[in-house]
Amino acid sequence: MTEPLPPTPGDDGDAQRIIFAITAALLILVVTYKVGQSDAPVQPPDEVAMDAAFSPPEESTIPAGPDGDAIRRGRLIFTTTSAHAGQYVGNGLTCSNCHLDAGRKADASPMWAAWVGYPAYRAKNGRVNTMEDRIRECFLYSMNAPASKAGTPPPYGDDVYRDLQSYFAWLATGAPSGKPLSGRGFVKLAVTPPGHDPARGATVFAGQCASCHGANGQGQANPDGSYTIPPLWGTRSFNWGAGMAGVASAAGFIKANMPYGQGNTLTDQQAWDVAAYVDSRERPRDPRQTATVDAARKKYHAKGDYYGQKIDGKVLGGS
C-alpha cells in the first residue's frame, strides 16, 4: 500500500497540528494551575481567628441583672480576695497578683484563656480537673488556705466558685475553644547555658525589684492587712505547693511582666536568676507534706524548685 504524502506547508493538515499544539499547551497550563492550587496550604477562617490575639470584653459591658451581679462579685473576689473571701485566705495575696490586670493580661495566666482550657488533665494531681477543682487548688496553695480562718479552701459548690466562674466565663466571651489561645499561662523561657543561680538573682533583685517589693521581699502592707505590693516569700506569701514556687513558672512570669509595667526589659538570664532567688527563700509549708521534707520532695518536688534543698545552711520546706 502506498503511504500518503505529508501535507505541504499551508494546507489543512498543518493548521490542524498547530491548533492541536496550542490546545495541548493550554490544557497543560490549566492542569498545572489546578494542581498548584490544591497543593497550596489553605488556612481555614476559624484558624485565622484563633491565631489573632484575643481581647476580653470591657468592664463597661458587664450585663445588668443576676448574671451581671455574679460577674461583678467574681471580679471583686479576684481583685480583693481577702475582703470578699477572706475566711479562705491565709496570706497577703490576691488572685490578681499573679493573674495581672484582673485576669485580663496575656502572658500573666489570663483567665479568659484558662476558662476555655478546662476540663483538663493535670499531672500535679493525676486527674482531669474542672475549673472548680483548679480554683480550689489556687486557694489551697497560692492563697495558703491552710493558714486561713477556715483552715481550708471553700467547700465544693460554694458561691465563691460560682461567682469566680461567672467572671471567667464573661472574660472569655467570644474566645474560641478547642485550641490553646495565644497568651495563655506564662511565657516558657528556654534554659540558658549558665543555668539559674540565686546569688546572681539577689543582685538582679536588689537593682530591679527591691524598690517595690522591699529588700526583704515582704512587699508593701496596708493598715488593714492587705497589700499594695505582694510579699514574695515568708509567711504572708504563697506556700511551697503553689505553681509560682516552680522556677520555670516564676521566670516566665517575671520575664513578661516585671518590673511592673516594664515587662520584657530583663534578659532571659536575669529572669531565670531572679526567679531562682525568690524561689529559694523560705515560705509556708506544702499542705501535701505529711511526713518528712525529704519524703515530700521525692513525691511532689523531684525537680523544678528548691523545696528540700539546703540554701544558706538551711533545708527549705520545713517551716
CATH 1.10.760.10 residue ranges of the chain are: 62-171, 198-315
Question: Looking at the predicted structure, is the pLDDT value of residue 254 above 50?
Answer: yes
What's the pLDDT band for 29 if we cut at 50, 70, 90?
very low
Cβ-count burial of 162 within 10 angstroms (0-12 exposed, 13-18 middle, 19+ buried)?
Answer: middle
Please give the share of the chain, as a percent, with pLDDT higher than 90.
81
Q: Which CATH number fits domain 62-171: 3.40.640.10, 3.40.50.300, 1.10.760.10, 3.40.50.970?
A: 1.10.760.10
Stretch (H or E) spanning 159: helix 159-171
Q: In the prediction, which pLDDT does 52 show?
A: 65
Judged by average pLDDT, the poorest of 5-19, 134-148, 159-173 is 5-19
Question: Looking at the predicted structure, is the pLDDT value of residue 32 above 90?
Answer: no
Mean pLDDT of 77-104: 98
What is the CATH code of the structural domain delimited by 198-315? Answer: 1.10.760.10
Query: How does the average pLDDT of the chain come out, rounded?
Result: 88
pLDDT in tens, 214-235: 999 999 999 988 999 999 999 9
Question: Looking at the predicted structure, is the pLDDT value of residue 46 above 60?
Answer: no
Q: In the prediction, which pLDDT does 53 show?
A: 87
Angle at alpha carbon of residue 28, lines to 26 and 29, rounded to 5°:
65
| Residue 26 in grid coordinates | 493550554
| Residue 120 in grid coordinates | 483538663
Judged by average pLDDT, the poorest of 40-49, 75-84, 212-221 is 40-49
Q: In the prediction, which pLDDT does 7 show?
A: 41
Judged by average pLDDT, the poorest of 13-17, 57-61, 252-256 is 13-17
Mean pLDDT of 114-118: 96
